[in-house]
Amino acid sequence: MKLQKMSIVLFALCLFGALFCVNGFASEDGKINLNEATVAQLVEIPGVSETIAKGIVELREENEEFVDLEELLDVDGLDNQLLRTLSRYLYVEQTAGCNC
């Protein structure tokens, strides 16, 4: 019985830790800030390959940050259909030092 309780507590702690790590840059509605998203976070989105995720991060690094989700259309392999999907998972929040 004692072992079962410890197992449940351990499972709950692991689950909490996993959720915290995955949603580290997520808003209250679960969306991820595009200007802070990592490749690992982006590939978790349906339809986003590692190549597209790396392209998104590279474009952000080249331009300092995104101002609008539509800028993602500049990434090779990313079309309007995928952009619609991404809009359900991502949002854009400018950084404090942005001159946008």
Estimate to the nearest angstrom the gap between the alpha carbon of 2 and the chain centroid. 39
The reported pTM is 0.69
CA nearest to 89, candidates 43, 31, 35:
31
DSSP string covering 71-96: GGGGSTT--HHHHHHHTTTEE----T
CATH, domain range 25-100: 1.10.150.320
What's the token pair of residue 73? Answer: 């259309």
Q: How far is CA 42 from the centre of its chain?
A: 5
Which residues is 26 bridged to in the sheet? Answer: 32
Using the predicted structure, report yes or no on whether residue 100 has a pLDDT greater than 80.
no
* Model pLDDT for residues 53-95, shown as the tens digit of each residue: 999 999 999 988 999 999 999 999 999 999 999 999 999 998 7
If pLDDT is split at 50, 70 and 90, which confidence band does 31 have? very high
